[in-house]
Amino acid sequence: MSQWFSLALFLYSSLSSVVAHSQTPKNVILVLLDGVRWEEFYNGIDGKMDPAHSGEQIFQTMNPLRDPHALVLGPKSECQTIHTSNWVTMSLPGYQSIFGGRTPWCFSNDCGRAGPPTLFETFIQRRFLESSIALFASWKKIDLAAISSAGLKLGLTHWTHNIGMQAFDHPEHKKTNQLQFQDLPQWNDARKDVYTFEHAKLYLEREKPRLLTIQLVDSDEWGHLNHYPNYIKTLKQYDLWIADLIQTLGVMGEYGKNTMIIVSTDHGRGPDPSNWSDHGYQKGGKKVWLWTHGYTRAPQDCLIPWTHSRIRRFIESILRKTSRT
């Protein structure tokens, strides 16, 4: 192969990649990783916690510098920062901000249901197909962010949401159902992420949803247990799963070409060895991050700082532009 032909092939491949990303996506996969610090996202392994592996890269696929055209937000972003919308920096207020598109009146993980309508309820009310909206979550309490009390009264619950230890009623999920009850985590109110991801991936391949949300919690649990090696191991597994999603979309034809992935977190953690295992008011965790695949950053994305509440509006803008209902 001649040198010029190789160069032409390289330029064509690069241009094709840019063109593919310049199209407005029609579908969104939102992945929420619980309690993952911006420090590990940008800097790799924290030398204050693990001096022997200081700076070792964790995220190969979700490398914030990998695609200069992608939308990446955080303390070191050339685009914009992103913070939690609430000052308590805890999980339920974080998820209620993301799904609600506003700062909720919720200051702990023990508050009530989100105010209406949630992100999912909005699209049900707009008559999106029920199979086109799905939530698979490891943490049981995310139900209080996904479904409002008004949504319960109005019957806006006929969409796919598989949360905590719930089995999924479909023959393809039988083995995963069995395994999740045999292989229980050492914490309460959640199942292991491996089974949440497997349920979500099976559903993705079968149903091709417009909006698929996947919430994973092992990272936060290992953080609270002050087990930094397992926290890092979990983050590396998350990166492999994101790579798996990208590879899966790559063989799903037009659907895969028109699907973007958004990855973010509900809160950060303390910055030092003495407090990294915790988060909350005056404990750290307000600075978060966001990474995308399959979406080309637009100038307006970088005009003002982001908070959690803007994620919902961003997703709605994508799905409204390309509604096929």
Condensed to tens digits (0 to 9), the pLDDT of residues 100-150 reads: 999 999 999 999 999 989 999 998 888 777 779 999 999 999 999 999 988
- Whichever domain contains 305, its CATH number is 3.40.720.10
Residue 9 lies in a domain: no
Task: For residue 42, give the 3-state DSSP assignment.
Answer: helix
| Any domain includes 10 | no
Residues whose CB falls within 8 Å of the CB of residue 289, separated by 6 or more in sequence, listed in order: 36, 38, 41, 42, 64, 72, 73, 74, 75, 77, 82, 264, 265
Token pair recorded at residue 28: 């969104």
**pLDDT (tens digit per residue) in 49-68:** 999 999 999 999 999 988 98
Total domains present in the chain: 1
Average pLDDT of the chain is: 90
Q: Is residue 83 in some structural domain?
A: yes
Task: Answer whether residue 267 is part of any domain.
Answer: yes
> Which pLDDT value is given to residue 151?
87
Domain-embedded: residue 14: no
What 3-state class would DSSP assign to 215? strand
Residue 212 lies in a domain: yes
What pTM value is reported for the model?
0.91
Structural domain includes residue 30: yes
Q: Is the pLDDT of residue 153 over 90?
A: no
Q: Give the model's pLDDT for residue 323.
A: 60
With cut-offs at 50, 70 and 90, classify the pLDDT of residue 243: very high
Domain of residue 243 covers 24-321
Greater confidence (24 vs 300) lies with 300
| Residue 6 domain-assigned (yes or no) | no
Per-residue pLDDT reduced to its tens digit, 183-200: 999 999 999 999 999 999
pLDDT of residue 20: 40
The pLDDT value recorded for residue 124 is 87
User: Residue 308 phi/psi, 5° resolution?
Assistant: -50, -40
| Placement of tokens 């030092």 in the chain | 272
What pLDDT shows up at residue 273?
Answer: 95
For 285-297, b where at least 16 C-beta lie within 10 A, e where not — what string?
bbbbbbbbbbbbb
pLDDT of residue 14: 39
**If we measure between CA atoms, which residue out of 54, 12, 58, 2 comes closest to residue 33?**
58
